[in-house]
Structure 1
Amino acid sequence: MAERRKRDLLHSAVFAVRLAWLADRRALVHVIVVQVLSAMVMAGALVMTQQVFGAVLARGPAAAGRSPVLVPAVIAALVVGAAVGALRLSGTARMAVLTVKVDRLVAGMVLEAAVAAELPRFEEPDFHDRLQRAVFASRRQPALAVILLVTAFQAALTVLAVGGAFVLMAWWLLPLVLLSAVPAIRAAGNERSAHHDMHHGLSENRRLREYLERLLTGRDEAKEIRALDLGGVLTGRWQEQYAHEVRATEALMKTHARHRMVAQATGGVVICVLVGSLWWLATSDLLPLSTAGAAVAGVWLLSVRLNTFAGMLGGIGENLLRLTDLETFIAPTSATARVPRQRRELTYSQLPCEPVALRAERLTFTYPGAEVPAVHEVSLDLRPGQVVALVGVNGSGKTTLAHLLAGLYPPDGGHLLCDGAPVTDLTAHRERTAVVFQDFTRYKLPALDNIAFGRPHTTDDLERVQEAARQAGALDFLKELPDSLHTPLGKEFTGGADLSGGQWQRLALARAFYRDAPLVILDEPTAALDAHAEDQLFAHLRRLFTGRTVVLISHRLRSVRHADRIYVLETGRVVEQGSHETLLRTGGAYATLFRAQARAYQNTGTS
């Protein structure tokens, strides 16, 4: 286990340096050169100190002030010190820019990897744990790793440089000084491993806390939190979850603080013994006073650097081990995520708008962790110009089947055929599909973007945006917004405006019209519309999507009665299919559901 951790640390260190190199190689080289020159100057200053002391003491205390070496040496030290100070300032400035660039690079990699993950991955708790750890690691962790590595590199160079000076003065001191740092380095390594293990164990705990924070601070959730007086309950649960991390941190720090104190005391005793030995050797004329004085300065300098390195080791190690979480998550897309993806500017003549015939053959899909398939051996035909409806009670598999038809889930079994050819490239299939989800996303961005996101890799076409909005019945209320289609849709932003649920749904429909795809899937597209608006939309559905293959999902069976073909699902299987009239004559599940809903409308006086 220890050997594996060491390999992980080395690998992560190389990964951190590679990130810095990709972010800004010139800045990285500049910072490294500054550290090398600083270490060389420090070693030279130590050797020069020993030589100056020797020259001054050789002339005797009375003549020290008239020494031809002392004043030039002091002036040289001041000049070199000023030069090194300026050099370090330039290195600090470049380091600040480098850390920002590393942050941007890594955050982009995580976002690219999250976007590249297929939809079924978001059903897996383990994926969310790894995503949470990667997001946590991307927040200043890579930049901090680079800073710590540079600082550790500087400390290591100082140790080497001062060690080289010791070889010239008193070589036997070097292994003893290095030995004094061993207990502190071991204690830091043990603490690093414990921190990393605790971090992994708290992944789901932190995800739950973040979810509770979103509930307590979200604008959309605020009304229900207050209406139900949930604030105190949710805050209490947040406190309970945070208490787990507090207790784990207290236990870890209590144990390892004692270890660090013992290690530091042990190292201090060794240094004290070394200084005492140097003093005894100098007073016994066994070691020149100049060498002893320079050696004491070197012992102090080296011990400070070693203690600094040991103190940093825990932070470096923990930080680097977290980078393993980051690298593991972004590994599939790291090669392509180095450079931000360029926007592809296409014209509508290049879009896949030719009608398509789609056939599903014995499609089967089971959600991760589930024992029963959500869709089981479903076969159906979708032809250009047809409206096909999927109906059934909640949990019957309608939405999952729609996701399979849209290429959002790869089937566990069976095949999806497009114009007779097997669909093997889900990304390409999604290009020719427009989907309006029941739980569509409300982008709190300008209304123009909310519609143009239907084709994000094309140049925004204002005329097409307005036409899509008109077809969805959204153009009139969008023009009344403060800045028309350029108005941000969210009161959280300056000049922003709110929309009603029905208006948001029309905007989602407009997005589908703008996409202009040959396959259109509408999952409860009128759930937020009133009955009159719903009837209007469905009455014009075939005209609005002329030549397209339309898949319609709706709980309101009166909305699907004009569909060319209706598939009735139960527990993930197709149990009936046919036209509205055929299914009513059959008297099966569809007829039972339709008549039950019809009675409900009659009882409430709704036509």
Structure 2
Amino acid sequence: MTPRLTVRDMCGAAVHAVRMSWAADRRGVLTVVGLQLTTAVGLAGALLLLRGMVGDVMPLARGGGAGVDLSRLVSGLSVLVALGAVGGILQSLSGMRQQILTDRVDRHVISLVLRTAAHTELLEFEDPDFHDQLQRAVHASRREPAKVVMMLVAMLQVALTVLAIAGVFITMAWWLLPLAALSALPLFKAAKDRRNAVYAMHHSLAENHRRRQYLEQLLTRRDEAKEIRALNLGATLHTRWDSEYAQELTGMTRLIRTYAWREISAKLLSGAMIVGVIASVWALVNAGMVSLPAASTGLAGLWLLSSRMGTASQMLNNMGQSLYFLKDLHNFVAAAVEPLPGPAAPVRPFRTLRARDLTFTYPGANRPTLHGIDISLHQGEIIALVGANGSGKTTLAKLLAGLYAPTGGTLVRDSHPVTDLHQLRHCCAVVFQDFVRYKLTAHDNIAFGRVDDQPHHSRIRYAAESAGVATHLESLPDGYQTVLGREFTDGTDLSGGQWQKLAIARAFYRDAPFVILDEPTAALDPQAEADLFARIRQLFAGRTVLLISHRFSSVRSADRIYVLDSGRVIEHGTHTQLMRTQGRYADLFLTQAAGYLSTTPPAP
């Protein structure tokens, strides 16, 4: 169900937009407001001057030019021309300053969205509703706050113009002013209906937009390009993208056709009401109740009023849509509960980390991914997790790393329940199987392991040496300052194994007491894998290592092995103990080992 905005919501969103614009560029806001107000005051002055000039011209029109002060008339015309020229200059200056203000507000608001997204708990990214909220917040962050501020300023200008025109009407026939104002009501009603319909459509298409963006990424990104071409998926993905876009275009076309007739009807009705006001004015002139100069000025003001009201209705329509999206933006930013981390506290190793009856369920899932997990990790140990795909190994690792909060059960560190997930993350280094390949410099790729500290090249080089990638990085054109991405000028790329070593180097640089390695050697050749695991105790001496791997040759030397199946720990012990019990671990180990045993005798 699409949410609706109350008047209070709209006022709150407008105030929020003004605050964000003020925070981004207060001088720009003051400049734009000042220029617009000056323009409005000039227009009001021109209208009053016009009334006096009409009174001077009337004797000439009746053939009685005697006594007419032509110099006053010429001076008045000159002032009107000067006011018009100054008004044009002010509008140009205002337009240029508005562009600068818009860009600065854009940067400020998009920064808020990115900051919020970066400090939102990982679990939120598993929820489709969060991605819809993020999509709408991103949409709202692009020029919507600045647009609202510009419209509020323009509405203020319209209000001042209306006041100036109202002054003329009051001196002529005050009762015509409400009739003139009523002529705008059909326009405002049609604009409101269209605004609600447009927002409802965009709200319902948030997931459609995300699917389109994903298809666009598949068709344009370098990493996906090779497989897209190998499978000849280009035309198929483009067709799906076009179909998703057609859904939005069809909805928009239907909406425009529906509300176009409503807006045409509203304009016809508004025009008929204005014609009625004009007829009333001329009736008053013919009856001698209103002078012709006053009537002429009043009708000129009525034309301006009609024009301004039409503009105002369109502004309110656009501003209303922006306020809808700004409410989404405000809700998204306000929902972030984790502040930017301050200076990092010293990393303190733990003696034990235990999971007691740990349970976890993903948002929207029908059943838990983990059920009553009990596991213990001690300082200096290498602990292994094994099990079939989907058994919950990586999910458990994310809980132990503080990336997810458990749905049930408790994490206990050194006999104290864990309540600060950020502190737990601070003491953990993780190498995921699907690690990120940062298309920045090699230096950054390693230094990102501990961004709280000032980068130290000697530590970066030591981490690269520990991971076995230092020699290759030093041979790059710019050494550690080489950009790792062929999409960028003078950039290069690494092989899959080299990227994996770089991710491991990042973990070394983090220098955390708890290290999680999720399939850390999947892209390494057998010799590199053997070299790494032969030195793993030496490289991570004194640290707790949690190792996830499908290669049993890598985990057999672990101090303790936990076997997961369907989210439960079904066995644990050393390799020797588990082989002796001939349970699930022994079956998996022997099945994998059989693949390396040849049953065919070697050729003579």
**Bin of the TM-score, shorter chain as denominator length:** over 0.9
Equivalent position to 2:235, from 209, 217, 232: 232
Question: What SS does structure 2 have at the residue aligned with 1:550?
Answer: strand
Query: For residues 237-248 of structure 1, what are the structure 2 equivalents within 5 Å?
Result: 237-248=240-251
Q: Give the structure 2 partner of residue 187 of structure 1.
A: 190
Question: What SS does structure 2 have at the residue aligned with 1:380?
Answer: strand
Q: Give the structure 2 partner of residue 43 of structure 1.
A: 44
Equivalent position to 2:116, from 104, 113, 124: 113
Query: For residues 32-431 of structure 1, what are the structure 2 equivalents within 5 Å?
Result: 32-57=33-58, 61-63=64-66, 66-333=69-336, 351-431=346-426
User: Whole-Å Cα distance in 2 between the matches of residues 133 and 467 of structure 1?
Assistant: 44
Give, in angstroms, the shift of residue 265 of structure 1. Answer: 1.3
* Contact 1:435/1:512 (<8 A) preserved: yes
Question: What SS does structure 1 have at the residue aligned with 2:94?
Answer: helix
User: Whole-Å Cα distance in 2 between the matches of residues 55 and 37 of structure 1?
Assistant: 27
Question: What SS does structure 2 have at the residue aligned with 1:278?
Answer: helix
Q: Give the structure 1 partner of residue 429 of structure 2.
A: 434
Question: What SS does structure 2 have at the residue aligned with 1:246?
Answer: helix
- Give the stretch that moved more between structures: 531-540 or 364-373: 364-373
CA 168–29 in structure 1, closer or farther in 2 if over 3 Å, else same: farther
CA 64–21 in structure 1, closer or farther in 2 if over 3 Å, else same: farther
Give, in angstroms, the shift of residue 82 of structure 1. Answer: 4.0
Give, in angstroms, the shift of residue 419 of structure 1. Answer: 1.8
Matched residue type, 1:441: V
Equivalent position to 2:476, from 478, 481, 491: 481
Question: What SS does structure 2 have at the residue aligned with 1:601?
Answer: coil
Give, in angstroms, the shift of residue 80 of structure 1. Answer: 3.8
1:455 is aligned to 2:450: yes
- Give the stretch that moved more between structures: 397-406 or 217-226: 217-226
Matched residue type, 2:47: L
Give, in angstroms, the shift of residue 85 of structure 1. Answer: 3.9
Q: Give the structure 2 partner of residue 588 of structure 1.
A: 583
- Give the stretch that moved more between structures: 202-211 or 1-10: 1-10
User: Whole-Å Cα distance in 2 between the matches of residues 418 and 334 of structure 1?
Assistant: 24
TM, length-normalised to structure 2: 0.94
Aligned-pair Cα RMSD in Å: 2.2
Give, in angstroms, the shift of residue 175 of structure 1. Answer: 1.2
Give, in angstroms, the shift of residue 56 of structure 1. Answer: 4.6
* Contact 1:50/1:291 (<8 A) preserved: yes
* Contact 2:5/2:324 (<8 A) preserved: no
User: Whole-Å Cα distance in 2 between the matches of residues 73 and 282 of structure 1?
Assistant: 25
Matched residue type, 2:13: S
User: Whole-Å Cα distance in 2 between the matches of residues 147 and 342 of structure 1?
Assistant: 35
CA 220–598 in structure 1, closer or farther in 2 if over 3 Å, else same: same
Question: What SS does structure 1 have at the residue aligned with 2:485?
Answer: coil
Q: What number of residue pairs does the alignment pair up?
A: 597
Give, in angstroms, the shift of residue 466 of structure 1. Answer: 0.6
User: Whole-Å Cα distance in 2 between the matches of residues 455 and 34 of structure 1?
Assistant: 49
* Contact 2:172/2:290 (<8 A) preserved: no
CA 282–250 in structure 1, closer or farther in 2 if over 3 Å, else same: same
User: Deviation digits for residues 279-315 of structure 1, max 9, x if unmatched?
Assistant: 3433443321110111111011111101111122221
* Contact 2:25/2:104 (<8 A) preserved: yes
Question: What SS does structure 1 have at the residue aligned with 2:51?
Answer: helix
User: Deviation digits for residues 380-425 of structure 1, max 9, x if unmatched?
Assistant: 1111111011111111111111000000000011111122211101
User: Whole-Å Cα distance in 2 between the matches of residues 499 and 356 of structure 1?
Assistant: 38
- Give the stretch that moved more between structures: 135-144 or 568-577: 135-144
Matched residue type, 2:191: A
* Contact 2:140/2:328 (<8 A) preserved: yes
Question: What SS does structure 1 have at the residue aligned with 2:596?
Answer: helix
User: Deviation digits for residues 108-139 of structure 1, max 9, x if unmatched?
Assistant: 11111111211111111111111111111112
Q: Give the structure 2 partner of residue 499 of structure 1.
A: 494
Q: Give the structure 2 partner of residue 5 of structure 1.
A: 6
* Contact 2:558/2:575 (<8 A) preserved: yes
Matched residue type, 1:484: G
Equivalent position to 2:518, from 518, 523, 531: 523
User: Deviation digits for residues 65-87 of structure 1, max 9, x if unmatched?
Assistant: 64342233233334444444444
Question: What SS does structure 1 have at the residue aligned with 2:317?
Answer: helix
- Give the stretch that moved more between structures: 135-144 or 211-220: 135-144
- Give the stretch that moved more between structures: 68-77 or 520-529: 68-77
User: Whole-Å Cα distance in 1 between the matches of residues 36 and 175 of structure 2?
Assistant: 27
Give, in angstroms, the shift of residue 600 of structure 1. Answer: 0.7
User: Whole-Å Cα distance in 1 between the matches of residues 181 and 403 of structure 2?
Assistant: 59
Equivalent position to 2:528, from 524, 533, 544: 533
User: Whole-Å Cα distance in 2 between the matches of residues 48 and 80 of structure 1?
Assistant: 11
User: Whole-Å Cα distance in 2 between the matches of residues 435 and 269 of structure 1?
Assistant: 71
1:514 is aligned to 2:517: no
* Contact 1:355/1:548 (<8 A) preserved: no
* Contact 2:519/2:550 (<8 A) preserved: yes
CA 343–483 in structure 1, closer or farther in 2 if over 3 Å, else same: farther
User: Whole-Å Cα distance in 1 between the matches of residues 261 and 71 of structure 2?
Assistant: 52
* Contact 1:353/1:516 (<8 A) preserved: no
- Give the stretch that moved more between structures: 67-76 or 365-374: 67-76
* Contact 2:119/2:338 (<8 A) preserved: no
* Contact 1:109/1:334 (<8 A) preserved: no
Q: Give the structure 1 partner of residue 26 of structure 2.
A: 25
User: Whole-Å Cα distance in 2 between the matches of residues 34 and 322 of structure 1?
Assistant: 27
* Contact 1:180/1:267 (<8 A) preserved: yes
User: Whole-Å Cα distance in 1 between the matches of residues 538 and 571 of structure 2?
Assistant: 27
* Contact 2:433/2:520 (<8 A) preserved: yes
CA 172–431 in structure 1, closer or farther in 2 if over 3 Å, else same: same
Give, in angstroms, the shift of residue 523 of structure 1. Answer: 0.5
List alignment gaps of at least 5 residues for structure 2.
none
User: Whole-Å Cα distance in 2 between the matches of residues 290 and 162 of structure 1?
Assistant: 15
Give, in angstroms, the shift of residue 431 of structure 1. Answer: 0.5
- Give the stretch that moved more between structures: 538-547 or 113-122: 113-122
* Contact 1:566/1:577 (<8 A) preserved: yes
Question: What SS does structure 2 have at the residue aligned with 1:603?
Answer: coil
User: Whole-Å Cα distance in 2 between the matches of residues 413 and 311 of structure 1?
Assistant: 53
TM, length-normalised to structure 1: 0.94
CA 316–4 in structure 1, closer or farther in 2 if over 3 Å, else same: closer
- Kindly, what percent of the aligned residue pairs are identical? 51
Give, in angstroms, the shift of residue 591 of structure 1. Answer: 1.0
User: Whole-Å Cα distance in 2 between the matches of residues 164 and 184 of structure 1?
Assistant: 23
User: Whole-Å Cα distance in 1 between the matches of residues 257 and 475 of structure 2?
Assistant: 63
- Give the stretch that moved more between structures: 510-519 or 99-108: 99-108
Give, in angstroms, the shift of residue 495 of structure 1. Answer: 0.5
Matched residue type, 2:301: G
